Amino acid sequence: MLRSMYSGVSGLRNFQTKLDVIGNNIANVNTYGFKKGRTTFKDLISQTSAGAGGATDTMGGTNPKQIGLGSAVASIDTIADQSSLQTTNRVLDLAIEGDGYFEVTKNGETMYTRSGNFYLDSNGALVTSDGAYIQAAGSGNINIPAEATEVSISQDGTVNAIVGGQLTPLGQIGVTKFINPGGLTKVGANFFKPSANSGAPSEEKTPGVEGNGVIQSGFLEMSNVDMSEEFTEMIIAQRAFQANSRIITTSDEILQELVNLKR
């Protein structure tokens, strides 16, 4: 069979993967704290029909003759860049301005998120929309008593409220950094988990300290998906998909001509 046909098949497979990533990005354009994906490619091994020849006293050198055998997906990256903040004026809507993630626990499992739309449960604990507990900069949950009024959250994560007529600190929300945030594993519901290549979570979890981002109350971080970029990449992927399809149909026509030689 022709090598070009298999190269075309590999191209179709790769650009289908790219379209899958683009589709997921567009689907999450309004997901708070979402970090978009990006697909990159690499070429496969090349078949060498003739090696390179060095120059001699009577002849110049020659380059190798190689035929590529298609392409493959090199990486599907998570782009962890900061996105824009949207004003909500709701005290429990929090955004991290800078590096870091909110640390949460769900069913005893620790995870991380950039989505800061938080709520209170029936016990006054600060939780995510899925019921995961927000962790303090030290340890434990953040709890707001029922009698508390005028709750506020400062940039260093300190939760204050008026309790019994006095200003009372109720805890400090932590921010956790990773050496390689792009290496975190997405586990759904806006949560991330550390991976073998993300690095360990930072020990210092105080917002605004040692490079940790600060917390902005009354704001939410939007998705970092750029619709114009995604639609441009979609057009590129569509045309590349069509071009690879043409390679396969042309190779098929050549094979058909070879089969017809026997007639």
Predicted TM-score (pTM) of this structure: 0.89
Phi-psi region at 190: left, alpha or beta (left = phi > 0; alpha = psi -120 to 50): left
Spatial contact of 175 and 207, defined as CB atoms under 8 Å apart: yes
In whole angstroms, what is the distance from residue 183 CA to residue 197 CA? 5
Torsion angle of C-alpha atoms 23, 29, 32, 36, degrees rounded to 10: 50
* pLDDT value of residue 166: 93
CA atoms within 13 A on the CB side of 221: 28
Spatial contact of 94 and 232, defined as CB atoms under 8 Å apart: no
Which of 218, 221, 216, 213 minimizes the C-alpha distance to 101? 213
CA end-to-end span of the chain? 20
In whole angstroms, what is the distance from residue 227 CA to residue 219 CA? 22
* pLDDT value of residue 256: 87
In whole angstroms, what is the distance from residue 110 CA to residue 152 CA? 26
| pLDDT-derived band at 263, boundaries 50, 70, 90 | low
pLDDT digits 0-9 by tens, 14-70: 999 999 999 999 999 999 999 999 999 999 988 888 989 999 989 999 999 999 999
Spatial contact of 154 and 141, defined as CB atoms under 8 Å apart: no
Residue 201, classed as helix, strand or coil, is coil
Ordered by start, the domain boundaries in the chain are 3-46+67-80+225-260, 85-221
- Give yes or no for residue 231 having a pLDDT over 80: yes
